[in-house]
Chain A
Amino acid sequence: MRRLGELEAEIMDRLWKWGRPATVREVVDDINTHRPIAYTTVMTVANILFNKGWLQRSKQGRAWLYTPVRSREAYSAALMEDALGTSEDRPAALAHFVEKMSDEEVAALRKALRNTGGRSRT
């Protein structure tokens, strides 16, 4: 049993990849090439994505045409902004590998790496 979130991601993934408005039928047909899925399931989840603000839609004939509100790159950039931005705000939320540093600090790191690295290799 796949989680709802996974199906959401699958639908978004396709719409981002296609880069054009698409109907639920097109998405269902594409997923059906890998595994069977009911039309109503995809329709429900597309509706959820619309309500969550991930998709926008316009009527074409009797079907809805869905488009992502923002590009995948825009979301990724916002995500990285959130992760790499000033972490003072939420200390325990995200644990970074290294904090943001100034040029001087990076130079000090390089010096330390070169000094000890040279010693350990001799």
Chain B
Amino acid sequence: MNAAPALIGYAAAIGFLSPRVMLRSAWPHRAPALAAATWQALAASFSISVALAAYHLATPTEHLHAGVMGILHSCGVALGAVGSHAPTTADRLAVALPVAVALALAAGFAFQVVRARRARSRHRAVLDMVGRRSHRLDAIVVEHTAAAAYCLPGRHPRIVVSGGAVRLLSPEQLDAVLEHERAHVAGRHHLALAAVEAFSMVFLRVPLARHAREQTALLLEMIADDRALRRHSRDVLASAMYEMAAARAPRGAFAMGGDSALVRLQRVLGPRRGTHPALRGSVAAAAITVPLLPLLVTCPLGIV
């Protein structure tokens, strides 16, 4: 029996249904790091099932004369070792399609990382010339009236704050903002973002791709908020968020950030509810299992 229908069904479930389940659940915002990892796991699982489905579609009748070699073949092991016949077009396609999926994802990730790195190093070259290093803030201050705080992650990270923001915020608020930015740098959040960006480039129309990208960006902000909350009160962080947003809002302009700041602010101010360890444990277990599932679908006998 060919595993292609099962794999396609599984990919459809992960690609179309799993984002709905994730968006309806309450736990992701309480455990943002776990939720971000789960989105990545779902993306990986989807990619693997699509690659395997492509392989099986290209070799539709191959496994009917099964036997042990057939099972191995169906698992993708012993490629080309089966049979003595010369490789056919279908055989070549069977290898080429999954490899193409893997290559597209790898190339997408590399593209995102390189593009972002280039933009950062251009920015950093000017920043290092124009900005003033503040040892007190452990950040670079750029003299400008606009209130801004951001970071350049990567191997030569910079935390940047504008003079406008320094004057706008109290010292405690400022430190909460900078702590938030340090969390982005320390957590290498740009790589997690590049991974989901690459995924959504390759699987443009799949709901999972769009939601994984949007939610990962929001969850990374929440992770950084939580880090700031370790050293500062909720009121300090929330009021800093409001001050910065209010100072930046242009009159009559269209919304660009969406309501993510509002979601974050409500979360920061709302009751601090953690997640039950049992829930965390089962989600973590599911996140680890989910990328392996398509392999189990493909070769159920292989593991017995």
Which of B180, B257, B266 sits near A100, CB closer than 8 Å?
B257
List B contacts of A113 (CB < 8 A). 238-239, 242, 265, 269
Residue A44, interface by CB 8 Å: no
Contact stretch, chosen from B27-35, B71-79, B89-97, B189-197: B189-197
Residues of A69-87 at the interface with B, using a CB-CB cut-off of 8 Å, are 72-73, 75-80, 82-84, 86
Residue B87, interface by CB 8 Å: no
Across chains A and B, the number of contacting residue pairs, with CB separation under 8 Å, is 167
How far is A97 from B174 in the complex, measured between Cα atoms in Å? 11
Residues of B30-88 at the interface with A, using a CB-CB cut-off of 8 Å, are none
List B contacts of A73 (CB < 8 A). 143
Interface string of A90-122 (1 = CB under 8 A from B): 111111111111111110111011001100100
Contact stretch, chosen from B3-11, B99-107, B246-254, B286-294: B246-254
B238 A92 Cβ-Cβ under 8 A:
no
B150 A112 Cβ-Cβ under 8 A:
no
Evaluate whether A117 and B245 lie within 8 angstroms (CB atoms) in the complex, with A72-B143, A105-B259, A108-B259 already known: no
Cβ distance A42 to chain B, nearest Cβ, rounded Å = 16
Residue B270, interface by CB 8 Å: yes
Residue B244, interface by CB 8 Å: yes
Residue A5, interface by CB 8 Å: yes
Cβ distance A56 to chain B, nearest Cβ, rounded Å = 15
How far is A78 from B127 in the complex, measured between Cα atoms in Å? 10
Q: For the side of the interface on A, what is the size category? A: 35 or more
Which of A75, A79, A106 sits near B246, CB closer than 8 Å?
A106
B257 A95 Cβ-Cβ under 8 A:
no
A93 B265 Cβ-Cβ under 8 A:
no
Cβ distance A118 to chain B, nearest Cβ, rounded Å = 10
Residue B222, interface by CB 8 Å: no
List A contacts of B235 (CB < 8 A). 117, 120
Interface string of B94-129 (1 = CB under 8 A from A): 000000000000000000110111011001001111
Evaluate whether A84 and B146 lie within 8 angstroms (CB atoms) in the complex, with A103-B252, A105-B257 already known: yes
Q: Looking across the interface, which residue of chain B has its beta carbon closest to that of A90? A: B119
Cβ distance A48 to chain B, nearest Cβ, rounded Å = 12
How far is A85 from B180 in the complex, measured between Cα atoms in Å? 20
